[in-house]
Amino acid sequence: MHTYLTYGAFGWLVFTGVAHFVIDVVSQYLRGKRPPGVETTLYYGLNSAFALGQVLFGLICVWIAWRQPGLLTERPVVALCLAGAVAWLTITFAFMGYWEPKVNAGIFAALLIAALLTAPAASP
């Protein structure tokens, strides 16, 4: 169960990062929804950085889970993953007015916690 939840959590992060970028940056740019200006540049920059961070972190963790599954149960790595979840939730509540990124980051945090709770006990 731990393996499925681990892949699910980081796969969800990759999927939602790609979807966030496609919906909030690419589609709005192609449809010309935002007039050129500083606010538009900041909007695209925030959403691009947010999505890219999720995709890259998710891909790295999926690769680690595939190559070294036990590494994702070590305390420093767990702390880094939880810090990422908290950071994405903080960014969504502080800077994003719509609810979808909040829900996606919350689902990632829930999947990550579930994966951590089902991790096999360390052998002595």
pLDDT value of residue 51: 93
pTM: 0.84
Q: Tens-digit pLDDT profile for the chain (124 aa)?
A: 888 898 999 999 999 999 999 998 999 999 989 888 999 999 999 999 999 999 999 999 999 989 988 888 888 888 898 898 899 999 989 988 889 889 999 999 999 899 888 887 654 4
Cα gap 122→113, rounded to integer Å? 17
pLDDT value of residue 122: 57
pLDDT value of residue 77: 86
pLDDT value of residue 8: 93
Cα gap 103→65, rounded to integer Å? 24
Cα gap 49→56, rounded to integer Å? 10
CB contact burial 5-40 (16+ within 10 A = b; e otherwise): bbbbbbbbbbebbeebbeebbeebeeeeeeeeeeee
